[in-house]
Amino acid sequence: MSVVNKDFVGKGGDNSRRLPPGQTQVTSWPVLSYEPTPHIDTDQWSLTIDGEVNAPITIDWETFNNLSKTQLKTDIHCVTRWSKFDMPWEGVSIEELISLAGGLKPDANFLLAKSFGGYTTNLPIWDVLNSRAMVATHADGEPLTDEHGGPARLFVPHLYFWKSAKWITQLTFSKTDKSGFWEVNGYHNYGDPWKEERYSDEY
C-alpha cells in the first residue's frame, strides 16, 4: 500500500487531464507486435550490456533476478491510440544495469535496445536514466507473459510504448544515434505521447 501524498498531482494525478491527445483509455491490455511471439526459456535468457560502458557484461536470468528491484505504478500509451492507466510494473532500473557494466563511458549519448528476434529501438540516454526506465519482469503483479514481452522487456512509460521493446536481450550504449526498427519505418525518432510524436516528418 502506497503512501498517498496529499495534493500531489503531477502529470497523471488529474483524471480529466490524464489522457494524452488522440488517445483512448482501455482497461484490457492489447497486444501488438511486429515479430511472431517467441517463447524464451529463462535458462536460455541472457542480457548483454555493452557499447560505451566500462565493463561490458552478459548476465543470465539468475544474476539478473538477484539485482535490486524497482517498482512503479504508471500509465502506458501505445502509438495505436490506446492508453492504460495505473499499471504496477517491477524490474531492474537501467541505472542499476549500467552500474553492473562498470558505468557509462563519458561519450555514451544513446541507447539501442535489441530484442531476441532482432527488433531494435533507439533512445537518448537521458530518457533511460533518472529512474525513468527499467528492464521489467512483472506487470500488474504477474510475471510478463510471452505476448507481453516476457520474461523481460524494456519499460519506458513516458514515451509511446513501441520504445518499450519486448523480449529484451541487449542494451548497447553509443556515441551517436542509430534509428531502430520502427523509427526507420516511419515512426517518430523520439515518440513523446504528450506532443503526439507518432510519425516521422518524412511520412
Partner 1 sequence: MLPTPAHHVAGQHYELQLTAGNGYQAARPYSASSTADDMPLLNLTIQHVPDGEVTTYLANNLEVGDAVEIRGPFGKFFTWTEENTQPILLIAGGSGVVPMHSILASHKAANATSEMQLVYSAHTYEDIIFKEDFLHSPNVTITLTQDDTSWWTGATGRINSELFAKTMERFSDTPTCYVCGMNPFVSAVTDMLQELGIPVENIKTERFG
Query: Shortest approach of partner 1 to residue 121 CB, angstroms?
Result: 20
- Give the span between the Cα atoms of 124 and 189, in whole angstroms: 10
In contact, 75 and 84? CB cutoff 8 Å: yes
- Alpha carbon distances (Å) from 33 to 66, 102, 148, 197: 29, 33, 9, 19
Quick one: 84 or 198, whose CB is closer to partner 1? 84
**Quick one: cell of 165?**
521493446
Footprint on this chain of partner 1 (rule: CB under 8 A): 2-15, 18, 54, 68, 70-75, 85-86, 93, 95-96, 98-100, 102-107, 125-126, 129-131
Torsions phi, psi for 195 (to 5 deg): -105, 10
Quick one: 63 or 185, whose CB is closer to partner 1? 63
Quick one: 40 or 156, whose CB is closer to partner 1? 156
First to last CA, the chain: 46
**Quick one: cell of 190?**
523520439
* Tally: H helices and E strands in the chain: 3, 11
Quick one: 59 or 104, whose CB is closer to partner 1? 104
Query: Shortest approach of partner 1 to residue 24 CB, angstroms?
Result: 18
Query: Shortest approach of partner 1 to residue 189 CB, angstroms?
Result: 18
Query: Shortest approach of partner 1 to residue 82 CB, angstroms?
Result: 18
Give residue 167's region: left, alpha or beta (phi > 0; psi -120 to 50): left
Quick one: 50 or 146, whose CB is closer to partner 1? 50
